[in-house]
Amino acid sequence: MTSDTAANPFLSESTLPYGLPDFASIGDEHFRPAFEAGFAAHLAEIAAIGANFEPATFENTVLALERSGRLLYRVSVVFYNNTSSYATESMQALETEISPKLAAHEDNIHLDAALYERFGQLSTDGLDDESARLVEEYRKAFRRAGAALEASAQLRLREINAELSTLSTRFSQDLLKDTNDSALLVERAEELDGLPADDLAGAAEAAKAAGHEGKYLLTLILPTNQPALKMLTNRSTRQRLFECSIHRGSRGNATDVTATAARMAQLRAERAALLGFETHAAFATDDQTAPSLTAIHDLLARLAPAAVRNARAEATILAETAGHDLEPWAWAFYSEQVRRDKYSVDLAALRPYFELERVLHDGVFHAAKRLYGLDFRERKDLPGYHPEVRVWEVFDANGTGLGLFLGDYYTRDTKNGGAWMNPLVEQSRLLGTSPVVVNNLNISKPPAGEPTLLSYDEVVTCFHEFGHALHGLFSNVNYPRFSGTSVPRDFVEYPSQVNEMWILWPEIVANYARHYQSGEPLAPEQIAKLEAAQLWGEGFATTEYLGATLLDLAWHELAPGTEVSDPLAFEADALAKAGVNMELVPPRYRTGYFKHIFAGGYSAGYYAYIWSETLDADTVEWFKSDGGLTRDNGDRFRSTVLSRGNSRDPLASFRDFRGRDAELEPLLKRRGLE
C-alpha cells in the first residue's frame, strides 16, 4: 500500500461527529483511488453473496447487500455533492471519467445473475413489514434494471447506460459553463436603475471577480424568470437579461446542450423498449405514487386550460398597466406594479426585512423548534467542503443529538444553479448511522461586511429546502435503502412544500421579518396584504410550470427510434400541442437549461411538484383546522410521514397522517383554478 493510499480519508469511516466527511483532509487526489478501491471492494462483496453455498436467506443475501458498498457510498456522496456545489476543473474532468464507470458498476450489480437468482429463492414469510418491503423493492429494482433480459439485450442496456451517464455529465458541465458565459455584463449603473443598492453592489462585485472591474454583471439563476426582471426600469436591459436567460444552452456554440438532450431522450426511449415499456415516461412513472401515466396526463389536462385562461387574463391587466403591447421580458416588471398598486405590496421594498441570519435562525429554525422541539447549535469546529459552508448540530426535543445540518447558501461560478438538498450520511438502524444533510441555495453574495438581504422568493426557497432537510433528519428506518428522502419522485417534494406554510404563519413571521437596521417588525397589515396578494400571478406561475412539465413528458414519450434533428422546433411543437404555448409565458425551463430532467434525475418526473402539491395543499388545510403550529401536530406529521422514508408505501403514510386519501380541491383553490 502506498503512502497516498494509506492516507486516503475515504478508506475508513470518518471519526468526526455523526460520520461527517472529513473535508479538511479530503483532496481532489483522493477521489480516483477511493473510487477504484470502492468498486473493487463492492464487487468482491457481491461476488461473495452470490457464491454463498448456503440457501438464500434474508440475513445472508438481503442484509448482506444492504451492508455492502460502504466505501463506494462514502466517496460517491462527497464526490457528487462537490461536483454540484464546488465543481473545480479537476473535479469536472474526473466526473467525466468516473460517471460512466459508476453506471457500469451499477449494471454489474443489478445484472449479476447469481445475485438475482438468490433473490428469486427468498421467501418473505415471517418477515416484518419493512423487511418484506425491502425484499420486494430489491426484486423490482433488479427487474427494472434488466436482470431478467437475455444476454444480448443486457449488453445493449449496458451500452445505453454508459452513454447516458456520459451525456448527463456533459449536459451538466456544459450548462454550468454556458450559464456563466451568458451572464449579462452591463457598462453603466444607470442601465440597472431600479435594482436595490445591495444588488447593485453585488453585481459590481461579480463583475470585478470576473475581470470586469468598474462594470456590472447580472448572473443567472436556473429558471427562465430572472429576479432582476421585476425591478429593472430600463426596458432594453430587461430584454437583454431575458434573452440571455432563455437562450442558455441553445446558442449553437460549443456548449449548446440541445443535441445532447435529444440524444438522451432517444436513448431513454430505446432503453424503455428493451425493458418492455412503450416510452421512457411509462417506465419512469411505473414505480411512482401516481397510479398511471394516464392519471398524470388527466391531472395536467384538467389544470392547463384554466391556468392559461388565468394567464391571459393577467396579461390583459398587465398590458393596460404598461400602456403598450406586453413583451415577455416586461411581464415580471408590470406584474410587480400591479402587486404594488392593487395589493399595496412591494416585494423589493420588503427585502430589508428578510436578512439571511434572521430568516435562518428566527424563521426556519424557529419554526422547527416550535413544531418539533429541535435546537440548532452551530459547530464552527467542523469543516465544510467550502469555506462558505456552515455546520449545525441538531438536537431533538429530549436533548439527544439528531444529526448535522450543513448550509451552503451563496452562488459561485463552480456551483450549479437552483437549490437542492443532499444527504451526506443516511440514517439507518442497521448501520448505526445518523443523518447528515446539506442544503444548497444560490443567493448572491453581498460585498464584505454587508448584510445578505433575501427576496421573498429566496425566503420561500430557504423554507422549502429545509423541508427536505427535515425529511432526512427525521428518518427513523432500519435500512439505508429506505432512508429519508429515498422515496418516489412524486412524493419527495411533499414534505418540503408543506414546510413553506410557516413562512407567513403569525408566530413565525413576527419572529424573523424584522428590518435589518432598525429591528422594526414587518407590519401585520403588510403581512396580511402579502397573503392577500398571493393569488395574483398564479396564472403565470402555473402556466410556466405546466409548460416545463409537459415539455418534459413530450421529450420522454418519444417512440423508440425517433430522432429529433431540431430540438427547438420539437420544443415549440410540443408546447403548442399541449396548449401551453403562450409567447408571453415561456416554460419555467426550456430544453437548453432543463437540468432537472437531463442531469438531475427528474426525467418524466417534473410533474412531481404538482402531484406532491395535491398532498401538500390538503395537509396545509389539516394544520390550519387542527390547531396549526403545535408540538402535537408536528409530532404527528413527523411520526406518520417524515420519519418513515420509503419503509412503507408513502401514500399509506399520508393516509395514516390524514385519515384518508388526498383531495384535489385545496390545490385548485390555492392556484385559483376552481
Can you tell me the distance from the alpha carbon of 570 to that of 550, in angstroms, rounded to the nearest whole number? Answer: 12
**C-alpha–C-alpha distance, residues 573 and 555, integer Å:** 11
User: Taking the mean position of all CA atoms in its chain, how far away is CA 606?
Assistant: 10
Catalytic annotation on 583? no
Q: Are strands 375-378 and 390-395 parallel, antiparallel or unpaired?
A: antiparallel
Other residues' Cβ atoms within 10 Å of the Cβ of residue 323: 7
Residues 439/421, Cβ–Cβ less than 8 Å: yes
Cβ atoms of residues 361 and 555 within 8 Å: no
Angstrom CA distances, 112 to 36, 134, 151, 387, stand at 19, 18, 11, 42
CA separation for the pair 266, 272 (Å, rounded): 10
Q: CA torsion sign, 231 to 235 to 237 to 240?
A: positive
Give the strand pairing for 401-410 and 390-395.
antiparallel
CA distances from 93 to 32, 99, 502 (A): 11, 10, 42
Per DSSP, what are the bridge partners of residue 378? 392
**Cβ(578)–Cβ(632) under 8 Å?**
no
Q: How far apart are CA 103 and CA 115, in angstroms?
A: 18
Catalytic position from the list 270, 465, 544, 557: 465
Q: What are phi and psi of 601, to 5 degrees?
A: 85, 5
> Residue 336: what are its φ and ψ, rounded to 5°?
-70, -30
DSSP reduced 3-state for 186: strand
The set of residues, in sequence order, having a beta carbon less than 8 Å from that of 315 and lying 6+ positions away, is 326, 331, 582, 584
Q: For residue 672, give the nearest of 308, 298, 310 by alpha carbon.
A: 310
* CB-count burial class (<10 Å; 0-12, 13-18, 19+) for 363: buried
Q: Using an 8 Å Cβ cutoff, are 621 and 660 in contact?
A: no
Can you tell me the distance from the alpha carbon of 317 to that of 323, in angstroms, rounded to the nearest whole number?
10
Give the CA-trace dihedral at 258, 281, 415, 499, to 10 degrees.
Answer: 140
Cell of 91: 473535479
**Whether 424 contacts 391, CB under 8 Å:** no
CA dihedral 290, 293, 295, 296 (to 10 degrees): 80
- Give Cα 542 distance to the centre of its chain: 18
d(CA 210, CA 184): 12
Q: Which three cell numbers stand for residue 634?
A: 408536528
Task: Tell me how far CA of residue 495 lies from CA of 107, 394, 419, 576, in angstroms.
Answer: 32, 18, 16, 33
Question: Which residues have C-beta within 8 Å of that of residue 625, sequence separation ≥ 6?
Answer: none
The separation between CA 625 and the C-alpha centre of its own chain, rounded to angstroms, equals: 30
C-alpha cell at 92: 469536472
Dist CA 354 CA 454 (whole Å): 5
For the annotated catalytic residues, the residue numbers are 465
